Amino acid sequence: MSLAVAGGGPGGLLLGYLLARAGIDVTVLEARSDFDRDFRGDSLHPYTLELLDRLGLADDLLELDHFKARSFRFHTPSGVYSCADYDRLDTPFGYIALMPQVRFLDFLAERAAKLPSFTLKTNAKVTGLLETDGKVTGVRYRGGELETSLVIGADGRFSTVRRLAGLDAKPLGATTDLLWFRLPRSPSDPQDADLDLYFGRDAYVGVLGGVHDWQVGYSLEKGEYPALRERGVEPIRAFLRERVPWLADRAHLLTGFAQTTLLSVDISRVDRWHRPGLLLLGDAAHVISPVGGNGILMAIQDAVAAANRLIPALRRGDVTPADLAGVQADRIAAIERVQADQVKVEQRAAAARARGRGTAPPALLKYLFAVPALRTRGARGNAYGPFPPQLDVSLLAS
């Protein structure tokens, strides 16, 4: 049996690699000519690194340039505190590896290409589904069509496969957008700056470390972008000078909105991730907001759960609706919890803006996270997510 994966993101490429390593014929269809675009999801969590280590891939991956973020901190009017210390975890990978997503995807694609049952087609945007008696039997794509035993839609938050399948995503409530840009690193930058949030009255800024620069995300109320453009970038530069003083000497390098990328934050989920012959995974099934930086983690875990279910089914020659429903059943509790936590964050931020009390989290958290055990617990929850699936490596022996 063969399988088509629409979308060459982290979840789609990893699933393609796992299936091909198990000897399943798999074709990944990537709409673009390559993976070289400015992603914002650059976080490889300890769960992901441990998985890659079990697959014999971690050492080579980590030879590529990356930044090790060992803590996650809040900077608030009441003080600075760490809410997650990843180096306290019982793992060889006590950090989040921040690596440009294009490097990670290129690495996965290169390793998968060595497997005889793996095919990657670029410039292959899906344009239609092949169906027989209500069952999806393949895809049409720019340049051809492909008949397969199963189609996986892993083509992101604006999934074409989801739309073609008639599986609608329901919004759960997002109130914030993020405007991303980059500023260069300096030798004088704080050594303990890793993953940091700086809170102000009407906005917060996220700062993510990199080898050569910093990714900076400026928050704004959903729908506020046109008004911000009217005012220009000076309010953003002023926020950096006031709240992130060690970046003040570089704030002037942000000269216009052409240097920025607007990420419209979304939290949404499809009620049913599957139809006969078709399964949605990752953001195609459930859009995760940037809160916690775990969008890649959820997509990777979806791929693991799918591999555990689909490899035996594909080998026996019959992927049933029960197999597809089983993948969703294995993942839904984790996704619901992550999204519920993100919705709560969005609701608190919206309420704080409405009251004019600023965006910072409650001051009580400062005292709670003074307890090392709670920082370790916070790190573990973010590093692995709720109910993390474990790959059955024995399935990979083809």
Show the tokens assigned to 252: 């002037």
Which DSSP state fits 34?
S
Cα–Cα distance between 164 and 124 in angstroms, integer? 16
Q: How confident is the model at residue 366 (pLDDT cuts 50, 70, 90)?
A: low
Please state which of the ranges 76-80, 131-135, 238-242, 361-365 shows the lowest mean pLDDT.
Answer: 361-365
Cα–Cα distance between 150 and 130 in angstroms, integer? 11
Show the tokens assigned to 151: 């189609």
Please state which of the ranges 92-106, 195-209, 227-241 shows the lowest mean pLDDT.
Answer: 195-209
If one counts every other C-beta atom within 10 angstroms of the C-beta of residue 132, the result is: 11
H helix intervals, 137-291: 160-165, 225-231, 234-243
Sign of the torsion angle spanned by Cα atoms 112, 117, 120, 125 = negative
If one counts every other C-beta atom within 10 angstroms of the C-beta of residue 117, the result is: 18
- Mean of the per-residue pLDDT values of the chain: 92
pLDDT in tens, 284-307: 999 998 877 789 999 999 999 999
**Residue 280: which residues within 8 A CB-CB, separation 6 or more?**
152, 153, 154, 159, 161, 162, 165, 167, 270, 273, 274
The CATH homologous superfamily of the domain defined by 176-221+223-264: D-Amino Acid Oxidase, subunit A, domain 2 (3.30.9.10)
> Are the C-beta atoms of residues 183 and 259 closer than 8 Å to each other?
no
Domain boundaries, the chain: 2-172+266-396, 176-221+223-264
**Residue 311: which residues within 8 A CB-CB, separation 6 or more?**
18, 19, 22, 24, 395, 396
**pLDDT exceeds 70 at position 362:** no
Q: Tell me the fold of 2-172+266-396.
A: FAD/NAD(P)-binding domain (3.50.50)
- The predicted model gives 45-71 an average pLDDT of 97
CB environment 136-152: b (16+ within 10 A), e (fewer):
bbbbebeeeebebbbbb
176-221+223-264 has the same fold as 2-172+266-396 = no
CB environment 182-207: b (16+ within 10 A), e (fewer):
bbebeeebeeebbbbbbbbbebbbbb
pLDDT in tens, 61-111: 999 999 999 999 888 877 888 888 999 999 999 999 999 999 999 999 999
